[in-house]
Amino acid sequence: MDRLHARYPFFESARTAVENAGIDLLDVVENETAVVRRSKARIKSGLSEGHIGDPRRNRVELLSYPVARVLISLIDDPMATDTYARAEAATARQRFEADIGTKDTGRSIQRPQLTISRLLDEFNLSHQITQNRDGSFQMDVSTYLQLSRNLEDQKWRLVERAVTAGEVPVTEEELLMLLEEAVVNRVTEGLPLQVPDSIADTLAEEKEELSELLAGHEFSLSYETIDEPAFPPCMTALLRQIRSGDSVELPGQFAVVAFLAGMEMDKDEVYEFIDQEISKEEIAYQLAHLRDKRGGEYAPPSCTTMVEYDLCVNKDELCKEINHPIEYYERKIDQ
């Protein structure tokens, strides 16, 4: 199987290659232990290290990706899904840099053919992004906002950019960071999958092992004073439901906890702030998946995610201008 497909199994051409090969997923999970083992390793490394680990031979690497998507679907945890997808994306960006020659790896191994143009075609961005003569790029402002909405550094805010005629200038390095976000979207697309019982039963042991891994993490965050009146309407509504004793499903609970973690609260402070229903153990479990061991933070759910889970309520005028609940809070504080 193609080395490029093995390195980028989320490419449409990789998916087509698997389909054209007539590979049966049940047969793979039942008989190809190396693929299942690598699939589990992708997720374990993704959840604990922020990358998907060392690659294996082409067939194993390529087929381990769809099996990993099945496993993450069986776990069916929004935190785990987001963390895993970001690990796949972080690894992909490292490979982008190596394969298009933007970073000297010091190795003499032959790289697969990859260009910026091919990447833009892969994510249907060729008409939204153009390259300048100096090697920089111009990106359609709507595309820029979509891809940068979960990037928290101040430099990504539109007010920091020299927008001209509806286009935003970005360097090649910044473009690859934005394409990393495109990979996150690609990996999470369609998740969780509807998994047939036959496949779920075969992967029951791997699912159990990964679920235990999820429950074993705990992190401590710092705390700053919070101005609750500046919270976005969705968070205000969820907090009101929780504090009144109404039942709030896991995605809503996670959204609140993740938002408060974004305010730099630790688990005890989140528990005290919420003051109802969600136990300290549940809060610790949810916070565990917002940081990896290196301290890297995973952003709370975006507005798009809130809409997908029917959690976007009581929108006001400011909601129409922002892409993330954290951005709403920052704008309110600025005002």
Given pLDDT bands bounded at 50, 70 and 90, which one contains residue 297? very low
Fold of 3-188: Transcription Elongation Factor S-II; Chain A (1.20.930)
Condensed to tens digits (0 to 9), the pLDDT of residues 182-236 reads 999 999 999 889 999 999 999 999 999 998 887 764 433 333 457 788 889 999 9
SS3 (DSSP) at 299? coil
Count CA atoms closer than 13 A to 125's CA, side-chain side.
Answer: 27
Mean pLDDT of 9-37: 95
More confident residue, 266 or 48: 48
SS3 (DSSP) at 170? strand
For residue 297, what is the DSSP state? B
DSSP string over 101-164: TSS-----SPPPP--HHHHHHHTT-TTTEEE-TTS-EEEEHHHHHHHHTT--SGGGSGGGS--B
Q: Which residues contact 145 (CB under 8 A, 6 or more apart)?
A: 158, 323
Which tokens hold the place of 230? 């500046």
Mean pLDDT of 61-71: 97
Consecutive H or E run containing 313: none
Which tokens hold the place of 333? 């504080």
Given pLDDT bands bounded at 50, 70 and 90, which one contains residue 112? low
**pTM exceeds 0.85, yes or no:** no
According to the per-residue pLDDT averaged within each range, which of 97-111, 115-129, 219-233, 320-334 is highest? 115-129
pLDDT beyond 70 at 58: yes
- Do residues 259 and 303 lie in contact, with contact meaning Cβ atoms separated by under 8 Å? no
Condensed to tens digits (0 to 9), the pLDDT of residues 231-280 reads 899 999 988 888 777 777 878 888 888 888 777 676 677 777 776 555 55
DSSP string over 181-202: HHHHHHHHTTPSP---HHHHHH
Give the Cα separation of 294 and 288 in Å (integer). Answer: 13
Token pair 């929004």: residue: 78
Give the model's pLDDT for residue 294.
31
Cis peptide leading into residue 196 (ω within 30°): no
Count CA atoms closer than 13 A to 56's CA, side-chain side.
Answer: 18
pLDDT beyond 80 at 28: yes
Give the Cα separation of 321 and 50 in Å (integer). Answer: 31
Condensed to tens digits (0 to 9), the pLDDT of residues 90-111 reads 999 999 999 996 444 454 445 5
Please return the burial class of 86, using the count of CB atoms within 10 Å of its CB with bins 0-12, 13-18 and 19+: buried
Euclidean distance between the first and final Cα of the chain, in Å?
55
- Do residues 183 and 93 lie in contact, with contact meaning Cβ atoms separated by under 8 Å? yes
Given pLDDT bands bounded at 50, 70 and 90, which one contains residue 80? confident
SS3 (DSSP) at 167? strand
Instruction: State the chain's mean pLDDT as an integer.
Output: 83
Please return the burial class of 283, using the count of CB atoms within 10 Å of its CB with bins 0-12, 13-18 and 19+: buried
Give the model's pLDDT for residue 333.
75
- Do residues 130 and 164 lie in contact, with contact meaning Cβ atoms separated by under 8 Å? no
More confident residue, 82 or 223: 82
More confident residue, 212 or 10: 10
Using only C-alpha atoms, the chain has a radius of gyration, in whole angstroms, of 21
Token pair 């959840």: residue: 47
Give the model's pLDDT for residue 300.
66
